[in-house]
Chains A and B, each alone.
Chain A
Amino acid sequence: MAVLVLAEVNGAELSLDQTAKTVTAVASLGDVTVLCASSGCAGAAEAAAKIEGVAKVLCADDAAYGNGLAEPIADLIVSLAGDYDYIVAPATTDGKNILPRVAALLDVMVISEVTTIVSADTFERPIYAGNAIQTVQSSDAKKVMSIRTTGFEAAPETGSASVETINAVANPGLSEWVEDRVQTSDRPELTSAKIVVSGGRGVGSKENFAIIEQLADKLGAAVGASRAAVDSGYAPNDWQVGQTGKVVAPDLYIAIGISGAIQHLAGMKDSKVIVAINKDEEAPIFQVADYGLVADLFDAVPALNDALG
C-alpha cells in the first residue's frame, strides 16, 4: 500500500513536528511519500527527507502553492492520487482546509481528526467535542484522512529519502492570497510545547494577560487561551485551545481563570498533568485537574512567578 502525506509547510519552512508525527501515525499503512507544496520548498523537502520512515519526498515548487490556498493544492494532490491508497495530512487548519476538497474531487469521504489507526480500513476519531470516540470502517477505495497528531511521537530525523521535483498543475485561479497576519514569538509552538500555560476570562484584560505570559516564559512554555479570553480580545485567535481551536497534549497544562467548559476540555484533557487555578472551587476544571489551587489568580500567579525565580 502507498501513502501520500501532505507535509505541513508554513511559508517555505517545514513544520517538522506535525509532519513527523503524521508519518509515525501512518507508517503501518505502507510506503510513505511526503509531498511538500509551497513556493521555494527545497529546504522543506530536504527537511522532510530526514524524517525516518519516509521513502520519498515530492517537491512541488510554485507560487500558486505558497500560501496554502486549498484549490490549487487540492488539484495537485488529485493529479497524484492515482499512485496512492491513502492521502493523509496533519489535522491543522491547512490540512482541514485542503483534504475534504481532495476527498470530494475523488468522490470519497474524508475522515477527520483520526486518533488511532485500528487497521487498514478502520479508524478511531473523537466526536461531540471528544465526549465520544467513534470507530469507523471505510468502504472507499482511497482513504483520505487528517491525523490528530497529539497522540503520536514524532518520527526521528534519521532518514535519508530521495527528493524528486515535480511540476505544478494548472492553477484554477479561484482565489487569491492577500495577506497573512502571523504572530511571531520566541516561545515554543502551542501544539508541540512540553508545557502550556493558558488564561481564561478570569484574567480580565489584555494587560493582565502579561502575568500569564510571564509565567509561561519562566517555564519555557507556550501560551494558550480559552475562547472567552480570545473573544474578549485578551489573546489572539491562534492561542485558542479547544473543540474549535487547537488540540494540545503537553506534559503539563496550567489552566488559569478558566472554568472548564466541555469545549475547552476537548482541546486539553489528554495533557499528562493538569493544574487548575481558579477562585471558584466548584469550577468544572477541577474535575479534570491533577492539582487544583483554589485561589485568586492575581495572588497565585505572581506568587508562582516569584517562587520560580
Chain B
Amino acid sequence: MKVLVPVKRVIDYNVKVRVKADGGGVDLANVKMSMNPFDEIAVEEAIRLKEAGTVTEIIAVSIGVKQNQETLRTALAMGADRAILIIAADDVHTDIEPLAVAKLLKAVADEEQPGLILLGKQAIDNDMNATGQMLSALLGWSQATFASELSIDDNFATVTREVDGGLQTIKAKMPAIVTVDLRLNEPRYASLPNIMKAKRKQLDEKTPADLGVDITPRLTIIKTTEPSERKAGIIVADVAELIQKLKDEAGVL
C-alpha cells in the first residue's frame, strides 16, 4: 500500500511572529521555516507503518513555493521514499487555501492511488484545521481526524481520536484519510547519512496547471493586525496578598 503524506512549510513554532505594521501580513522574510510539527508526526507514522510492513511506499507532497524543497528533503531524510512539489506561488507570503490544497492533493491521489493519506490536523500558521476533511470529502473517502492512536488492517483504519469529551475510537473504511494529533508519536530526527541519502531521492515538480486545478482563493485577506497586548500586572508577596487582591481588587473570588 502506498501512503501519501502532505507536508507544509511553515514558520518554525519557536519563532516569535511579527505582524507587519502596514497590516499586510506576518513577516516571513529571513525567518526560520520548518515542517509543520503535525506533519512531522504524520511522516513518522508513515515510516512506522512501513517498518511494520503495512506500507510499501511513502510519498511526501508539498504545495507552495520553490523553497518547499527543503521541507520535502526533510521528509525524505526522515524516511519518505520520494517527493512531489507543487509550485503554486512565488512569494512565501502567499498561503494556498485548504480548499485549493485539497483539490491539488486529490489530483495527486488520483494519479498515485494511495491506500491511505496521513495529514496533520492543523497547520500552525493559518490554524485552519480543514485540509484533511476537505480532501476526504472530495475523494469520497472515510475521514478520521485528530488521531492519537492508529492501527491499519486490510479493511479498516482503527483510530483513537482526541475529542472535546475525551477519546473516541472509530473504524474508518480503507482507503482512508487520517489527520494526526500531537500525541500519536514522537518524530525521529534525520541522521546525517540519511540527510545525505535524501539528496539523491526523487523529487518531482509540478504546477497546479499540470494537475488541472484552479487555485484562485475564495477568501480575500483584507488586513492582518496584532492582537491587543496584555500588560504584565504585579507580583504579589505571598498567598495572603494574592487572595486579598483577587477578592478586593479583581473581585473574582
Contacts and interface: CB of A to CB of B under 8 A. Distances in A.
Interface of A: 10, 67-71, 74, 92-94, 96-105, 107-113, 122, 125-140, 172-183, 191, 195, 219, 227, 230-231, 236-238, 243-244, 246, 251-252, 262-263, 269, 272-275, 281, 286-295, 300, 303-304, 307-308
Chain B CB within 10 Å, residue with most, of A69, A97, A227? A97
Contact of B97 (A105, A109, A246, A295): A109
B222 A69 contact: no
Contact of A294 (B127, B133, B235): B235
Given A175-B144, A238-B165, A290 B250 contact: yes
Given A182-B165, A231-B182, A243 B236 contact: no
Given A103-B130, A110-B99, A179-B168, 8 more contacts: A100-B130, A109-B97, A135-B222, A181-B166, A182-B165, A272-B252, A281-B235, A287-B232
A107 B252 CA distance: 47
A128 B165 contact: no
Interface in B102-129: 102, 121-122, 124-129
A254 to B, nearest CB: 9
Nearest to B179: A97
Contacts of A127: 26, 125-127, 224
Contacts of A236: 166
Contacts of B230: 269, 274, 287-288
A104 B165 contact: no
A132 B225 contact: yes
A175 B253 contact: no
Contact of B227 (A110, A130, A272): A130
Counting chain B residues whose Cβ lies within 8 A of the other chain, the interface size class is 35 or more
Contacts of B52: none
A131 B10 CA distance: 14
Interface of B: 11, 13, 16-17, 19, 26, 97-99, 102, 121-122, 124-138, 140-146, 148, 158, 161-173, 181-183, 217-227, 230, 232-236, 238-240, 242-243, 245-246, 250, 252-253
A88 B212 CA distance: 31
A104 B141 CA distance: 13
Nearest to B13: A263
A201 B115 CA distance: 39
A307 B243 contact: yes
Contacts of A178: 158, 169-171
